[in-house]
Structure 1
Amino acid sequence: MANSNRAQFSSRLGFILAAAGSAVGLGNIWGFPTQAASNGGAVFLITYLVMVFVLAYPLLVAELTIGRYGASNPIRSLISVAPKQKALGSAVGIAGLLGASGILSFYAIVAGWFFGFLIGPVLSAIGLESAAAWLEGFSLERNLILMGVFMLLTIMVVKNGVADGIEKWSSRLMPVLFVLFIVMVVYTLTQPGAIDGLKMYLVPDTSHFSPDLMVSAMGQAFFSLSIGVCTMMVYGSYLRKDANLPKTAAQVALVDTGVAFVAGLLILPAMFVAQKNGVQIYNDAGALIDGDTLVFSVLPAMFDTMGFAGIIIGVAFFALMVIAALTSSISMLEVPVSCACEELKKDRKTVVWWIGGAISLFSALIIFNFNTMFGLVITVTTEYMQPILGLIMALIAGWIWNRNQVLEELSQGYPEFGQSKFWKVWPAYVRIVCPILMAMVFLWPMIK
């Protein structure tokens, strides 16, 4: 099935950084710590770590394997593994590209806000208070402009292709992200109050464990590896045939989970540092305040109490958020771009502008109808499309795709794969266990 003219990642490290960059997004740095904070800290962390390898990792292997076998865009790759169900393959591929585009449409708006909070403190420090207030305020014009700037950055990276665009920038941005993280965690842990947050995050209190927590951890594990909307399938299609897929997938999962873990080490202690500095972190009902307020109110308020060091830490934190958002957004834009380039036989540079422009227009539509559309688009794409598509992909990989073809593809970078324990467990696991767990993530909120 290999396509010899297809663009490829130039190195395994480049692929791991790009795939981890796709997975490492606002879901890890924003979503995971706030979920952990709201669900008892350490108990959620342990459940999440288990779920990454019980649910997300086997599905990640499946999605990467389908992508590399098809060596094409998601529509063609899915048809290649299910040639007798072409309509199903096409439908899932098209739904995947719509899902990725839908997620990018709201993601670009949120990433734009982070961009504003990144530049705002700098302008404030040099006396441009009104410009800083505009960037950190909430207005139609500010939302449109910042979303446009972020989408432009995403388009500029994807325009240059796989090796010169996606791989090059992921390989530059991910190490910067790691360094910023380590510096900020070390600094935050030296502040008064940090130890309370650290205890909450690392010392389990089993009274918090519940079926709700387990399903939340499952959902978070699934979303944090960006499974279900074909991003990993597209990246898999650019992977060399000599790569050991289970091992490479494990490395991506470890990097992604490591970032989520470190994000918790930063954000939970930071919340308690903020409380020590007089910032409210609990609402009137005694529950921790939610993610939006946490990132856009609590943390900036904490940075304000730190004087000049707070400006530097604040800029570093929001730089971190923008980098994480960008490494994810380029993978989301690549899904529809790869489909359009190959299905319509069009030049990448043209296609990127058309599709990036169309998604930007949809983002603008959300901004103009923010109260009705923003939450709706998030719900439709992340709570419905992503789990359903992930479930269908598990069923395709487990039930429809010819088992000998799966073995042959996985053996290419790992000749002894057929004798491995992984192969003895994985096919049945993807057929039965993953769909049941996926169905739980999707159905639990409706039946509880």
Structure 2
Amino acid sequence: MASARGEFSSRFGFIMAAAGSAVGLGNIWGFPTQAASNGGAAFLLVYLLLAFTLAYPALMAEIIIGRHAHANAVNALQRIAGGPVTRRLGATTGLVGLVVASFILSFYAIVAGWMIAHCLGSLAALVGADGIAAWLTFFSLGRNASFVVVFMLLTIGIIAEGVHDGIERWSSRLMPILLVTLGCLVLYVLTLDGAMEGLKVYLLPDFSAALSPQLIINALGSAFFSLSLGVGTMLIYGSYINDRENLPVVGGLVTGVDIGIAVLAGFLVLPAMYVALHNGVEIFDAAGGLISEDTLIFTVLPELFTSMGVAGAFVSLLFFFLMSIAALTSSISMLEVPVAYTIEEHGASRRSAVLLIGGIITAISLLILLNFETLFGLVVTATTRYSQPLLGFVFCIYAGWIWRRDQLLEELRKGSPEIAGTLFWRIWPWHVRLVCPLIIFGIFAQNLFG
């Protein structure tokens, strides 16, 4: 069954695709700015701890369920359910997950379009096309709508080619490019005046700050969301893994790559902020808080690039190229969630399903742009702050409480016959059953009441 619906051809292909899904704008933009606003190294230490105690176990829940069913989230959760009530709940969770993934992609496409526009704007500036560069970097409906369409066409084109020729092939190309580009930018920025001050903030922890409840909650949220958990992206990718793979190992590799890129991005963004400060660009307000944390990437960094002269234009080009790749590797996994469901449950061809759903999501993005002040923040908040934690909570309940333990163990034994005697099997089942739901529910409660 798995072969008929597509399958990753290698462990490397799956790791690049899954890491690409996880590594997005949140890793390269969100994590460093969260670190800058929450004590730098203190946030980094708490984040690393929680990434392996929360994100990895929750990731494994989705991957194992997906590989067991070799099906979309709706079908997969129904298969491991024990009765009619849990089957209906599983189907509902899967359907809500694909709707949430679609809405996340609808706002993600807007932000990704900004990245592509700024990348091309930097290129235009380099060749002296200042008028074009100004249009590309100025916030306007025309520019935003144009690049939403461009970005969605790129995403649709990759997904239309299928699992091996589309998702795996392009993830295996784009992720190494992302890593090389990020590494080169880090090495360059660290040579600039002011960078060492940012590096100290990032690497020298204030242990008193690490005990701040708000810092812990923020780190919890970053660790959970950095792996694209809760909407079925990792479940659907898990469904394309062959039965010979050792799931705890590949899950650990995905988690490691994702966390590694987020941490590496911190070596870029925090030093860059202090380079900007050294060059006269204000990054803190009078109270010592970070100015425009959410829009830092479009305010502080462009001012930094401008202050660097011609070299800044090259750095700007590379930086926004990096961000565009990160956005694309994540977007293809989001689109695959509703596409896989439409193909498997309604018998549509892949190409027609991709065109239909991609067109609908593009239309939603354009609608958000037409009502930007009202809808953009609302969609972001509803999907990432409320829907994702609740869906992640349900996935953990299914893996920890509803799925029969002997069936779960049998699934893990396919790629690791000795799994019952390992540390993973001694810890993970009760961890995903008790610890993960409590922590995820805590994130949700903080978002709701905090």
Give the TM-score range, shorter chain: over 0.9
Which residue of 2 is the match for residue 252 of structure 1?
254
Determine if contact 1:34/1:290 at 8 Å carries over to the other structure.
no
Which residue of 1 is the match for residue 109 of structure 2?
108
- For the pair 1:89 / 2:121, whether they are aligned, the reply is no
Give, in whole Å, the separation in 1 of the partners of 2:29 and 2:293: 7
Residues 164-179 of structure 1: matches in 2 within 5 Å? 164-179=165-180
Which residue of 2 is the match for residue 304 of structure 1?
306
Determine if contact 2:115/2:323 at 8 Å carries over to the other structure.
yes
Determine if contact 2:243/2:415 at 8 Å carries over to the other structure.
yes
Determine if contact 2:125/2:313 at 8 Å carries over to the other structure.
no
Note the C-alpha offset of 1:352: 0.3
- For the pair 1:180 / 2:181, whether they are aligned, the reply is yes
Equivalent residue of 2:288, what SS?
coil
Note the C-alpha offset of 1:4: 4.5
Equivalent residue of 1:206, what SS?
coil
Note the C-alpha offset of 1:121: 1.7
Residues 84-163 of structure 1: matches in 2 within 5 Å? 84=83, 85-163=86-164
- For the pair 1:31 / 2:30, whether they are aligned, the reply is yes
Deviations 1:183-207 (A, max 9, x none): 1000000000000000000000123
- For the pair 1:59 / 2:58, whether they are aligned, the reply is yes
Note the C-alpha offset of 1:45: 0.4
- Return the match for 2:278 from 269, 276, 281: 276
Which residue of 1 is the match for residue 344 of structure 2?
342
Residues 41-440 of structure 1: matches in 2 within 5 Å? 41-84=40-83, 85-209=86-210, 210-440=212-442
Give, in whole Å, the separation in 1 of the partners of 2:391 and 2:420: 28
Deviations 1:272-303 (A, max 9, x none): 00111111111233211233331001111111
Give, in whole Å, the separation in 1 of the partners of 2:449 and 2:370: 34
Note the C-alpha offset of 1:127: 2.5
Note the C-alpha offset of 1:134: 1.1
Give, in whole Å, the separation in 2 of the partners of 1:6 and 1:18: 17
Determine if contact 1:30/1:291 at 8 Å carries over to the other structure.
no
Percent identical among aligned pairs is 54
Give, in whole Å, the separation in 2 of the partners of 1:402 and 1:293: 46
Task: Give the length in aligned residue pairs.
Answer: 447
Deviations 1:320-359 (A, max 9, x none): 0000000000000000000001111010011101000000
Determine if contact 2:279/2:307 at 8 Å carries over to the other structure.
yes
Note the C-alpha offset of 1:40: 0.5
Determine if contact 1:64/1:237 at 8 Å carries over to the other structure.
yes
Q: TM-score, normalised by structure 2?
A: 0.98
Q: What runs of 5+ residues in structure 1 fail to find an aligned partner? A: none
Equivalent residue of 2:103, what SS?
helix
Q: What runs of 5+ residues in structure 2 fail to find an aligned partner? A: none
Q: TM-score, normalised by structure 1?
A: 0.98
Note the C-alpha offset of 1:162: 0.4
